[in-house]
Amino acid sequence: MNRKCILTLLIGLLSLNLWVPRAGAELRYEVISCGTFGRNASYPSGLNNLGEVACYSYGTPHLFFWDGSLHNIDIPNRLFAIAYDLNDLSEIVGCYYYANRQNHGFIWRDGSLTDLGVPPAGKDCYATAINNQSEVTGYADNHAFRWKDGVLSMLEGLDSNHDSRGRDINDKGQILGVIRGTFPFSYRTFIWKNGTARYLEPLPGCYLCIGNRINNMGDVIGIAFNSRDDGPSGERIVLWKDGVPTDLGISCGNTMDYNYDINDLGEIVGRIRFNYRSLISIPMLYRNETWMNLNDMILPGSGWTVIAPIRINNHSQIAATGVDQQRNYHALLLNPIYITKIDIRPNEEPNVINLKSKGKVAVAVFASEDFRIKDLDYSTVMLAGASSIAHELDDVDGDGTQEMVFRFKTTDLQLLPETTSLTLTGTTFNGTKVQGSDSVRIVGAK
C-alpha cells in the first residue's frame, strides 16, 4: 500500500470539518439486512424514497427487490443481470444478456419485465437510471439515450463522433451524462434537457471530471483527477452547483470509484479508498458541510460493518454493502435515528417517580444543530408506554435556548419498581425516529 497515499488521506481528513458529537441530539443509524435470497451474498444497487432497495448477487447472478420482505426479479434464460436504479414507483432498471452476450436494457415493474428495445446499430443497451416520471437514461451503441413513453432515442445535441453515457436523470427530466473528449482518458460532464447539453465547468487543474448523480435541485456529485498516476492526490470529490465545481476536500489515490450519491438535502454518500488496489475503504456521509465516517454513526451492537454506501434518499436513509463478523456480505438499509438528550423532571436530581402519585412527570427534550424541535411530530411522543398530555417551550437549563417540555400522567406510565431508566421515543414529520434516555428512581411501590 502506498504510504504517502495513506498519510495524505489522513492529513486531508484531519483538515476537514469532521464530525464531533455535540450536546443535544446526534444523528445515528440503525442497520437492517436485506437478506440474500438464498445466495452467498447480496449487494444494493438502488434505493427510493419509500426505503425500498434493489439488490443483486454474484456467483449465480440474481436480482431481487426488498420492501421489508424479498421479491424475486425473474428474467428467464438470462446468463447475467444487474440492476442500476429504482424509483418511487418501485420500478427497477438495469441490463441483462443471453447466450449471444448482447446486453439488453430493461424496466421491471409489478412483476413484469419490459425490454427497452434494440438500438439502431443492434449493439448493447444499458439502462442506468430512472426518475419518478418513468423516464430512463443509459447508453446504447455507446451513445447516451432517453427512453420515454416506450420510445428509445439518442440524446440530440451531443457529438456523435465521441462515446457518451447517460448516468442519471432527475424528476425535472435533466439527464446527467459524460462524453469522451479528444484526448485519451478525458471526459466532459454534461446536463442535458430538451435537446440541449450544458457542459459543467471542470475543477481547475484537473484533466478528468466525471459526474455520477444529480438531484432534483440540479446539484451534481462526482470526481475529478488532477494526476495521471496512482499517486496520493489523484482524485478529488467534487460538488457542482449551478454548473460551478467545489472541491469537497477529500484527496486520495486513484480509486476510480464513481459511486457517490447526493439527495435533495445536499447530503452525500460514498467511500474513500487509499488507492485503486486497496481493500481498505472508509464509508463516508457528508452533511452540514461535514464529513462523517458512517461506521462511527452505527448504533452499538448491530453486528455489521459498513463497507460501501451507494445511495441516499431524501429521508437520509442509506443503501450500503456491509459485512458481519462471519464475513458475510449483505445489502443493508441504514435508517437514521436521532439520539437526543432528555431531562426527566428537569433540574431535579435524582429523578424520582412516585408510583402512588396522581400528578404529572415532565420531560425536557433538547435540540441541536442536527435536530430541530419543530421537526418532531408531538403526537408520536411516548414515554414508558404513555402518550404526552401537554407540551410547552421552556428554557429549563437557563442557556437562552428553549427546550420542549412534555408532560405525562404518572398513572399512565408502565413502570416496575426495579426500573432505573426511561426512554422517550417519537418520530419527525418525515418519519425519522427520535429517542433519548435518562435515569430514574422509582418509589411508592406496593
Number of domains making up the chain:
2
Tell me, yes or no, whether 281 and 360 share the same domain. no
Q: Which three cell numbers stand for residue 264?
A: 435533495
Q: Which three cell numbers stand for residue 413?
A: 406510565
Which region among 16-30, 68-82, 91-105, 314-328 has the lowest average model confidence (pLDDT)? Answer: 16-30
pLDDT at 75: 79
Q: How confident is residue 40, by pLDDT bands cut at 50, 70 and 90? A: confident
Tell me, yes or no, whether 312 and 385 share the same domain. no
Tell me, yes or no, whether 308 and 416 share the same domain. no
Rounded to the nearest integer, the mean pLDDT of the chain is: 86
List the beta strands (DSSP E) in 288-398.
290-293, 304-312, 318-324, 329-339, 342-344, 352-354, 360-365, 382-383, 386-387, 390-394
Q: How far apart are CA 399 and CA 197, in angstroms?
A: 53
* pLDDT over 60 (residue 418): yes
Phi, psi of 29 (to 5 degrees): -130, 135
Q: What is the mean pLDDT of residues 286-296?
A: 91
pLDDT tens-digit map of 143-168? 999 999 999 999 998 987 889 999 99
Q: How far apart are CA 365 and CA 346, in angstroms?
A: 10
Q: Which of 279, 300, 333 is the last residue of a domain?
A: 333
Q: How confident is residue 205, by pLDDT bands cut at 50, 70 and 90? A: confident
First to last CA, the chain: 66
Tell me, yes or no, whether 321 and 422 share the same domain. no
Bond prior to 76 in cis (omega within 30° of 0):
no
* pLDDT over 90 (residue 275): no
144 beta partners: 139
* pLDDT over 50 (residue 366): yes
pLDDT at 1: 41
Q: What is the mean pLDDT of residues 109-131?
A: 84
CATH of the domain at 395: 2.60.40
| Integer CA distances (angstroms), 149 to 133, 134, 135, 187, in order | 10, 8, 8, 30
Four-residue CA torsion sign, 379, 31, 46, 245: positive
Tell me, yes or no, whether 134 and 231 share the same domain. yes
Q: How far apart are CA 54 and CA 57, in angstroms?
A: 11
* pLDDT over 50 (residue 406): yes
Question: Cell numbers 489522513 correspond to what residue?
Answer: 10
Parallel, antiparallel, or unpaired for β 360-365 and 403-409?
Answer: antiparallel
Tell me, yes or no, whether 185 and 329 share the same domain. yes
Helix H or strand E encompassing 405? strand 403-409
Write the DSSP assignment of 5-41 as a string of letters.
Answer: HHHHHHHHHHHS-B----SS-EEEEEEEE---TTSS-
Question: Cell numbers 412527570 correspond to what residue?
Answer: 361
Q: Is 281 helix (H, G, I), strand (E, B) or coil?
A: strand
Write the DSSP assignment of 47-105 as a string of letters.
Answer: E-TTS-EEEEETTTTEEEEESSSEEEE--TT-SEEEEEEE-TT--EEEEEE-TT--EEE
- Between 364 and 184, the higher pLDDT residue: 364
Phi, psi of 257 (to 5 degrees): -100, 95
Q: How far apart are CA 138 and CA 143, in angstroms?
A: 8
Instruction: Note the Cα 64 to chain centre separation in Å.
Output: 19
pLDDT tens-digit map of 330-345? 999 999 999 999 999 9
Q: What is the mean pLDDT of residues 189-205?
A: 91
| Neighbouring C-beta atoms of residue 176, cutoff 10 Å | 29
pLDDT at 281: 76
CATH of the domain at 16: 2.120.10.30
pLDDT tens-digit map of 225-236? 775 544 444 678
pLDDT at 404: 96
Instruction: Note the Cα 357 to chain centre separation in Å.
Output: 47
CA angle 41, 43, 44 (to 5 degrees): 150
Q: Which of 311, 333, 355 is the last residue of a domain?
A: 333
Tell me, yes or no, whether 9 and 114 share the same domain. yes
Which region among 21-30, 250-259, 368-377 has the lowest average model confidence (pLDDT)? Answer: 250-259
Which region among 115-119, 256-260, 413-417 has the lowest average model confidence (pLDDT)? Answer: 256-260
Tell me, yes or no, whether 268 and 364 share the same domain. no
Question: Cell numbers 464530525 correspond to what residue?
Answer: 19
Tell me, yes or no, whether 290 and 181 share the same domain. yes
| Integer CA distances (angstroms), 229 to 5, 136, 232, 254, 366, in order | 12, 35, 9, 7, 50
228 beta partners: none
pLDDT at 108: 93
Tell me, yes or no, whether 79 and 29 share the same domain. yes
* pLDDT over 80 (residue 212): yes
Q: How far apart are CA 367 and CA 77, in angstroms?
A: 55
Predicted TM-score of the model (pTM): 0.88
Question: Cell numbers 488507492 correspond to what residue?
Answer: 275
Tell me, yes or no, whether 348 and 327 share the same domain. no
Q: Which of 309, 333, 357 is the last residue of a domain?
A: 333
* pLDDT over 60 (residue 15): no
Tell me, yes or no, whether 416 and 324 share the same domain. no
* pLDDT over 60 (residue 99): yes
CA atoms within 13 A on the CB side of 427: 9
Q: How far apart are CA 348 and CA 441, in angstroms?
A: 12
The range of the structural domain enclosing residue 399 comes to 342-443
